[in-house]
Structure 1
Amino acid sequence: MPAMLLKALAAAVALLLGPLHAQAGACNRTCLEGQMSDYLTALAAHDPSPLPLAPFVLYTENDQVIPIGNGEWQVVSSLGNYRHVFSDPQSGQVAAITTITENGMGAIYIARLKIDSGGIREIETQITRDPNGATLYEKMEKPEDVWLEAVPVEKRISRDFLISQTNKYYSGMQNNNPNGNYSFFDKNCSRLEQAVQTTNLNRSTPYSHSNDTVFSSLGCEAQIQTGFLGFVTSIRDRMFPVVDEERQVVFAITTLDHNGTVRFLRDANGTTSPIPAYFDIPRTLQAMEGFRLNGDKLFRIEMNLIELPYGSISPFRPGPALDRSGAGNNQNTTIPCNGGCLDGVVVQVLHALEAHDYSSLPLAAGVRYSENGQFLALGDGLWETIGPIAMPGVDGYAARFSDPSSGTAAYWGLTMEHTTPGVLALRVKVDNGKINEIEAIDVRAESSGPRYGTTTLMRPPLPVEWPADRSLGKLDSSFQGNQTSFTDVRPRLSLLYFNGMELHSSLTIPFASGCLRRDNGFQGNLSCAAQIEGNGPAPNGLYNLTSTVHDVRILVTDSKRGVLMAVAMVDSTATSPGPMSATKRIPSTYMVPQLIKVTDGVITRVEGMVKWMPFGYNSAWSGEATFSR
């Protein structure tokens, strides 16, 4: 081909592709920071339409995938003044730690954007609902100057080395070996957590949930050398999406698991003490944090976190999903497994949980286990923390159910994890003599006792909290015995019930005139119908918050006992007009397992529990729902 033609062809290709390459590589620091500024402006205006969103942009709030424009987009009152922006032109990503008010309450807002020639492809946000932290950030006004300073080229370390040094922080914290090598900290390292200085303090300030007043007086290296953080049993899904080589800064996102098995806290003064009640149960936290390095040492750390359902996996987690299926064995049940057999199976599972050993159960290959809507490895979660379980026919708050037609056994009753009581709704699926599914929903008592008690971090007050004495009394006897004959407990009753909950109307729900209902042990003086309507000065409080009821699933239909056991997610968008109570101020989703007693075709009794979840939460089983709306 003649040279002249080659040049012309190359020029034409450059003319055609030039704009694409320019867009892909031209988003420098100024461009990225401008995109973040535009994003936050759009958020405050409650309108994402001006943003250059790529088709099928993935948007999350606190790890929940929701349509952009929902959730936080509807409740932000204003943007704050503090803004710490992290830019990475090489990866096309930008992140910001900033502050907002939502329905008048201060919060810490963190956003990460991934941008290419097609626009904004990923938006990952974390709302840390800590008004005190938001106030402290506002008083700071801006990040410390060192975060924003360019480092001379000859003093920089490479991108990969920046990530490697940052990752040592997480490896050192995981199980926190006090004999590890922690020389990757600068001697003048300091750390902020939700804008609170947590290192090098000159005052005796207890750290986090503990009573330890020494830890916060130490530097970064000295703190981790104590082994104090041993309650962090796993740090997974470590992501380093924003690496700013010019400023020697890394923005990281990680998931921290506390599996509840660590029972003693190694104090910074060299002694040990019983671990706070907050760590009685398995917990998962997500941290978004910035690291500034000085040479190859960690010099500044700025961390913010949220609590997620235990075992949560980020939609942005790299690599294939974790294999959380279990192995089968040679044990078997009776084939077919009738009602009596299923009753025996559920008790067998309860005893296995108490023994922390599932090996005696008749398990199918690939058996799946979940807790509160998250698939876990069999043996994780409750299998490591649960203590005494109330047994059907023995204890006052326990019942079992079965449906031979579907091979389903179920349980509802009290549990104890170390010192924390809870109510367990358990579904066990048996097929061809083997257990192939175990689903646990455990609503724990949450209290604001010493050092923040057992309350889920930064959740709003529940519409109905557990009783102060954490006692639920006895389960109504109508759930525990058999009826004289089989009764009509068609799933349609559940459809009518949850539809009425969403519509705030009892008109189509077949309630008996004397129907009674409890949420988290609270009944009040209203009938089932009045509670659904939200009537009276002090209704249960769940129904008048309801905007959407979704992910409705029947766990078991027991015609012999006349009981439906179901679970649903109830959304509260926090968009009600007028003044709002603390319960209503932030978008929330409530997981509500329910026992519904049916007699002669009408609902006579309902026992419900209420568990707070991040807004938009769905069960991992939702794609396989036995019943959906």
Structure 2
Amino acid sequence: MYSSIRSAVSAIGGILISVCLAQEPCDRSCLEDVLSEYFTALTSNDPSRLPTTPDVKYVENDQIIPLGSGLWPIAGSQGKYRHLFADPQSGNVAAITTITENGVQAIYVVRLKVEEDRSISEIETQITRDASGAALYEEMGEPEAVWYEPVPPENRISRERLIEQTNKYYSGMEQNDPHGNYSFFDKDCNRLEDAIQTTNVNSSDPYGHSNDTSFASLGCEAQFQTGFLGFVTRIRARRFPIVDEQRQVVLAVTTLDHNGTVRRLPSVNGTSSPTPPYFDVPRSLLAAEAFRLRGDKLFRIEMALTEVPYGMRSAFPAHGGLGVDLEGALDAVLDALRAHEPARLLLAQRARYSENGQFVALGDGLWETLVELDEGARFVDPLRNTVGFWGYTKEQSTPGVLALGVRVDGEGRIAEIEALGVRAESNGERYGTVTLMRPPLPVEWEGEELGALDGVFLEGKGVEEEELLGLVEAYFDGLEAHSSAGVLFTPDCVRRDNGAQREESCAAQMDGEGEAPNGLFNRTTAVRDRRVLVADSEKSVVLAVALVDAPAIARGEEELPPTERVPSTYMIPQLIKIEGGKIARVESMIKWMPFGYTSTWGEEQEDNGRE
């Protein structure tokens, strides 16, 4: 389809190409046509035949080079094996195939980013110069049929879930813990590595560089349960550029680091063996890997890999929207918290951790006292590379609510963790758990069951981040001014503070009607150190925190209630839900702080403002 249209347009100078072709979205067939034209241009050694954007990015084995160089002058014929992948939602199309370079066969992986006008803005290629692997692919002729079978809608899992399950493969392989949970594998899972089946094969051939002849006889889950793959010390730059919901297929690109420090591996027969000499020195492998899921489990895996210099940066840094696995990063943090093992985390060089606004050592505080942490609710913000969590905790015997923000850098490393923990403060035996010498809170929480988070926070139709942030800023302004003028609330907006819900509407509370506006009292003043941890455009939810000052100053002759007789500052982590362009739900927890308290994050903001 595309090739015939393009030929007709080029006959009149190509003037109308973007206008005519942008009338319809580029579906699977369209994307595959663009890819076919790419191969025609490549094997003709003529990049000028491609419809590219002016700033097209061309990459071979993670090197950014001019389009037309590298493989282009020496590419020969394409082989008959061609495994296609398409993601109309993201505009990406790819193939695992074979090609010749000066007559020598190689495995070739290519991904194209196709824009709305059908022009190509990104060309990412991986050349695995393994002639025997290419020959095996040619013998296969075509991929297993299951890769191309559409899955009935009722049996599919979401795009996000496909990425989440796929990323478990990498998290499980990294430092391969023999005691890990590998139930994400289908019982009939099989894996190809450079066209060689490396699971459920009974042969006397050793696996990879090792001398172990039993590993390849095991299934996917059983292999991971041996811990044999522990020589893979880090898997970074994880990207998932193609997610095919119709076929339940994911194509991922990652870099596998082997730092050379793992000297012995558990063998399949239960004994330890020296690590293969290949891993005596640090090495990195660039891997393109396809996954076909059955249900929510990995059913088929196809990998092609090649070696690159150790530690080499990816040519496509994994920014949030391009594939940083934010939920995988959150999983890692939550699992490390539960295990009290921060050393498990893949950290950025100057990673920081804070609790209730103060930087503390990673592993201190909550890391040592946590005994229970529920599954909670998750919120993802790809534009900021952040992910958030809201859930219930227990530290020793004390219940709490934890709001957590995690920021990930472009390489998938955890750069910042901010924990906001509101613990139950009860007047129990031997003075209970109340903060020493603090005044009573306007709304106390002594540990009563708060119930599951309202499901409305987990549903959404999608809102642009700019709109979310504008609504939240107006909301904080309204809190400070005690006026709902300029704040958009739905008529039935509901607000809870420390689990207590008042009868007044959100607007009425903010305007000071009734006894306790905005969950505090109407003599609060500044609402400062306002920070958005996560703005989840898909769920239309913002996870934010602010400090609210209550200076204990009476108005005229009025008598202050007991809760306002001491100058106080309240730290308030909160979830703010947007529906139809208005604030529909607010869930907040209130923690007392000394009057004038400022978080270290807020101090940084002030310092940056002065510079």
Q: Scaled by the length of structure 1, what TM-score is found?
A: 0.48
Larger Rg: 2
